[in-house]
Amino acid sequence: MMNHELKMIPAREPPVMAVGVLAWIRNNLFASTLSIVATLLIVYGLFLSIPPLVQWALVDATWFGADSNACNREGACWAFVTARLDQFIYGFYPAEHQWRPNLFFAQLAVLVLWLSLKWTPGKQWVLGYSLLLMPFVSWFLLYGDLPGLEKVETHQWGGLMLTLLLALCGMIASLPFGVLLALGRRSNMPVIRSLCTAYIELWRGVPLITVLFMASVMLPLFVPEEVVFDKLLRALIGIILFQSAYMAEVVRGGLQAIPKGQFEAFNSLGLSYWQGMIMIILPQAMRLVIPGVVNTFIALFKDTSLVLVIGLFDLLAIIQAGLNDPAWLGNSVEGYLFAGFVFWIFCYGMSKYSQRLEQQLHQGR
Amino acid sequence: MLKSLKTAAVLGAFAAAGLAQVASASATLESVKEKGYLSCGVSTGLPGFSNPDDKGQWSGLDVDVCRAVAAATLKDASKVKFVPLTAKERFTALQSGEIDVLSRNTTWTLTRDASLGLNFTGVSYYDGQGFMVKKDLGVKSAKELDGASICIQSGTTSELNLADYFRANNMEYQPVVFDTSDGTAKGFDAGRCDVLTSDQSQLYALRVRLSKPDSAVVLPEVISKEPLGPVVRQGDDQWFNIVKWSLAAMINGEELGLNSDNIKAQKASSDPNIRRLLGIDGPKGKGLALDDDWSLRIIEQVGNYEEIFNRNVGAESPLQIDRGLNALWNDGGILYAPPFR
């Protein structure tokens, strides 16, 4: 007698066309006639554009050189960027003092890492330092005029350093002002409410470029000749006033999403207005508005390049100034590509950080 | 409504007070000496006139004019703080006292001289609209351009000057319009037009950007007047004189053959003109409230006009601009400075 054993037939591999890379390609790229045509057209477009781009940007490119004549005219002249990289980062900051901006960058990097990594202790203290002390520490570090630190006037600041500084100060200062304005606009007190509303509507109704012109062209005419307001400071104040109005509306959106019951709850617990706001309402509201806040921050970061209309040399302006150096005429494409690349890195970084923050805060929801 | 009118009135009063302040400018020389540096308004980047180099040092023709003023007043040509200004900001910065001299490619016109509370101290560069053509066309004069297609930047005074010039000479042309000056150069390079027109100083900068700079020539004709020069505030005649004569010292220096190399040796010269320029004889520095060596320092530390021209825009620079109108009056140009006497 044969001994029949019951055996499972091993599962067969799925058809080649149903899983893996091939299936993905079939489902996503060649699912219908329309998508086949679109795919082929796009591939053809890439085929036309990518090889010449690589040829221009990498193969034929010149990476180092003393002036435009050193560059191969067929390829990209990255020598323009490498020769002036120091200037693009520090502006006209004196070379022997460049450790100060470096320290500023390092501080920034440490703070950002500290706040974004999961296992680092004492986050609230670090956050407090970043929001309250860091702007002043950075200012004294960069401006100097202290014993042991030589004064470096702000007209020598420039490049990436200035861009970061303007954006950071704008972000850090506009957030608290924005929260206060948002609370003010929702206040029951008519005077405060109308003042805050008027402020927000006034500043939101004016383009940033007008604010900067006002700060740099009109303001000096109103003050006596002996008083020379620092131009950077004027621009910074303009940016902060402008940005607070936008921030206020973002925060107000979050406040409106909090159910009325929460307000009644803290009132019935006997908490004061500020206690309730700080401990109950704002933590919930701020969590809701992270995407909006980051959106505003990214817009601000890019808006800082508007300061070039008032003669401050931010990253974009200093690249443009470099393009006018007779030794480097004709490198505008390389210059602007570099500027775009740097801006993209920072904006993408901010957007990634905000996504992480959202995920962390929304755990358990 | 009434309220906003009141606010406007208050703001207007403030503005008037600000402008009144401008008129009663305090002694600029004193304040410059007290500060220890000269505050000089320049452009945010204009090839050959004022631009930061790789090291972050400012260089250019306009920049050297400021250095000369610093050499005369502060005895050190490096004691200048350069304030980069956009075209819109430049006059306010001067009126408000933020800068002491504006040396930023500014065309001397009646309106600016008479209505803005400013004084032009002289001409440091005679610019004007010109034409660049492809060499192989064989054109030698702008009068031969009848029927040409011309690349031009839209919305500029060049556009209007061009129309005027061709109408006055009964010629036809085909405009090819671009938004930026970079665009006009690209169009010219790609053969979209036979001729490119712009201010002459710009033409030379654009020529460097062509794929073959030698294939184009700039025609000698200039069809508009753009005298560029340093500007000061009205109401301080002493300072006005200092800037005016600092420029004159460089031009006279070239005329007398004095330059930064030979000036030490020329101190012993017996030529009365040279002795007067160097402050050994003659009026010296008293009338300007400066010491007697002021003009000597300008030529020693900055150079004569020929040196700064060649170094920044002329033969020794990538721009290769001809002296043309900017040659001395006794050398075919119109550059002329009053005598030191």
Number of residues written out for chain B: 341
Q: Residue B25's pLDDT is what?
A: 46
B88-118 tens-digit pLDDT = 788 988 988 889 999 998 889 898 899 999 9
Using CA atoms, how far apart are residues B44 and A324, in angstroms rounded to an integer?
9
- Those residues of chain B whose CB sits closer than 8 Å to some CB in chain A are 14-15, 17-19, 21-22, 25-26, 44-48, 51-54, 56, 81-86, 88-89, 92-93, 95-98, 182, 205, 208-209, 211, 313, 317-319
Quick check: A90 and A101 in contact, CB under 8 A?
Answer: yes
Tell me the pLDDT band of B47, cut-offs 50, 70 and 90. Answer: confident
- What is the per-residue DSSP string for B81-101? EEEEE-TTTHHHHHHTTS-SE
Q: Residue A118's pLDDT is what?
A: 79
pTM: 0.82
Q: Residue A3's pLDDT is what?
A: 65
pLDDT at B19 over 50: no
Query: Closest chain B residue to A223 measured between Cα atoms?
Result: B18
Residues of chain A with Cβ-Cβ distance to B211 below 8 Å are 73
pLDDT at B67 over 70: yes
Look at residue B174 and give its three-state secondary structure.
strand
Residues of chain B with Cβ-Cβ distance to A87 below 8 Å are 52, 54, 56
C-alpha dihedral, B99 to B101 to B102 to B104, nearest 10°: -120
Using CA atoms, how far apart are residues B98 and B95, in angstroms rounded to an integer?
8
User: What are φ and ψ of residue B120, in 5° steps?
Assistant: -85, 130
Tokens for B331, please give them. 């050398």
Q: Residue A132's pLDDT is what?
A: 86
Compute CA distances A78 → A60, A98, B189, B205, whole Å: 11, 23, 22, 20
Using CA atoms, how far apart are residues A200 and A223, in angstroms rounded to an integer?
26
The DSSP bridge pattern shows strands B129-134 and B216-218 to be antiparallel
Q: Residue B150's pLDDT is what?
A: 94
Q: Residue A43's pLDDT is what?
A: 94
Using CA atoms, how far apart are residues A259 and A255, in angstroms rounded to an integer?
9
| Complete domains list, chain B, with CATH | 25-126+227-331 (3.40.190.10), 129-224 (3.40.190.10)
Tokens for A68, please give them. 């435009």
Q: Complex ipTM, two decimals?
A: 0.77
CB spacing of B209 vs A213 below 8 angstroms:
no
CA angle A137, A116, A301 (to 5 degrees): 60
Using CA atoms, how far apart are residues B107 and B89, in angstroms rounded to an integer?
15
- What is the per-residue DSSP string for B248-265? HHHHHHHHTT--TTTHHH
CB spacing of B54 vs A84 below 8 angstroms:
yes
Pick from A319, A306, A324: nearest CA to A216: A306
Pick from A159, A64, A164: nearest CA to A109: A164
Q: Residue B22's pLDDT is what?
A: 44
Question: Which residue has better confidence, B222 or A73?
Answer: B222
> Which member of A225, A231, A332 has the closest CB to residue B21?
A225
pLDDT in tens, chain A (365 residues): 556 778 888 888 888 777 788 888 888 888 899 999 999 999 999 999 999 999 999 998 999 988 888 888 788 999 999 999 999 999 999 988 999 999 999 999 999 888 888 788 888 899 889 888 888 899 889 998 888 888 888 888 999 999 999 999 999 999 999 999 999 999 999 999 999 999 999 999 999 999 998 888 788 778 776 676 788 988 999 999 999 999 999 999 999 999 999 999 999 999 999 999 999 999 999 989 988 999 999 999 999 999 988 888 999 999 988 888 888 887 888 999 999 999 999 999 999 988 888 888 775 45
User: What are φ and ψ of residue A348, in 5° steps?
Assistant: -65, -40
Using CA atoms, how far apart are residues A321 and A313, in angstroms rounded to an integer?
8
| Complete domains list, chain A, with CATH | 18-59 (no CATH), 88-93+152-361 (1.10.3720.10)
B319-330 tens-digit pLDDT = 888 898 899 999
Quick check: B279 and B340 in contact, CB under 8 A?
Answer: no
Helix axes A190-204, A231-256, angle to 10 degrees: 120
Residues of chain A with Cβ-Cβ distance to B209 below 8 Å are 329-330
CB pairs under 8 A between A and B: 107
Using CA atoms, how far apart are residues B45 and B50, in angstroms rounded to an integer?
6
Shortest distance, CA A80 to any CA of chain B (angstroms): 9
Quick check: B120 and B57 in contact, CB under 8 A?
Answer: no
Q: In what order do the strands lie in the sheet with B231-233?
A: B80-85, B38-43, B101-102, B231-233, B118-120
Q: Residue B173's pLDDT is what?
A: 93
CB atoms within 10 A of CB B192: 13
User: What are φ and ψ of residue A122, in 5° steps?
Assistant: 65, 40
Tokens for A239, please give them. 């940016």
Using CA atoms, how far apart are residues B242 and B82, in angstroms rounded to an integer?
19
B274-313 tens-digit pLDDT = 999 999 998 999 999 999 999 999 999 999 999 999 999 9
Q: Residue A365's pLDDT is what?
A: 55
> Which member of B51, B89, B208 has the closest CB to residue A216?
B89
Average pLDDT, chain B: 87
Cβ burial of A89 (10 Å; 0-12, 13-18, 19+) is: buried
Maximum Cα–Cα distance across chain A: 117
CB spacing of A220 vs B208 below 8 angstroms:
no
Using CA atoms, how far apart are residues A338 and A277, in angstroms rounded to an integer?
45
pLDDT at B18 over 80: no
What are the strands, taking DSSP E only, across B138-183? 148-153, 173-178
Tell me the pLDDT band of B179, cut-offs 50, 70 and 90. Answer: confident
Beta bridge partners of A62: A77
Which residue shows structure tokens 């309730």?
Answer: A276
- Those residues of chain A whose CB sits closer than 8 Å to some CB in chain B are 67-68, 73, 83-84, 87, 91-92, 153, 155, 213, 216-218, 220-226, 228, 231, 308-311, 313, 317-318, 320-327, 329-330, 332
CB spacing of B96 vs A155 below 8 angstroms:
no
- Residue type (1 letter), B10: V
Helix count and strand count (H, E) for chain A: 18, 0
Question: Which residue has better confidence, A91 or B7?
Answer: A91
CB spacing of B98 vs A322 below 8 angstroms:
no
Quick check: B143 and B268 in contact, CB under 8 A?
Answer: no
Number of residues written out for chain A: 365
B234 Cβ neighbours under 8 A, 6+ residues apart:
B23, B25, B117, B118, B119
- Residue type (1 letter), A55: Q
Pick from B207, B86, B80: nearest CA to A326: B207
